[in-house]
Amino acid sequence: IEAIYERSSSLSAPAVKDFVSQLCHVSNLEISFHHTQPNIYNLQKLVEVTHYNMDKRPRLIFAELWVTVADHLTATALHSNPALAMYAVDSFRQLSIQYLKRDELEVFEFQKRFLKPLETVM
């Protein structure tokens, strides 16, 4: 089953967008259903899928994926459960470090847009 997540980078652009959207949906259900002790399995998988697709997708496609992922991570980082919120913040940190290692032309502002959701969390 792990191969499904690992190979998500070979999905077509529309398919990976749907996959990420559904991962966010299921993750949200897990978090909502287990409020005191949330299950983070699909949240972890969402972070992994984001990681796998970050360097393998064109920037414009990844930027579209990132909007969905960032919205979910932002909502999770603002959750009332401190452990869950910290997991989301740490996920932001890990993904940001990976993303900022990418070279970017001065005319692009993907890095700035990538970090924008952190303003909401902070």
Span 76-103, average pLDDT: 89
Q: How confident is the model at residue 122 (pLDDT cuts 50, 70, 90)?
A: low
Q: How far apart are CA 76 and CA 87, in angstroms?
A: 8
One-character DSSP codes across 51-81: HHHHTTS-HHHHHHHHHHHHHHHHHHHT-S-
pLDDT of 91 > 60? The answer is yes
Query: Whole-prediction pTM value?
Result: 0.86
CB atoms within 10 A of CB 1: 5
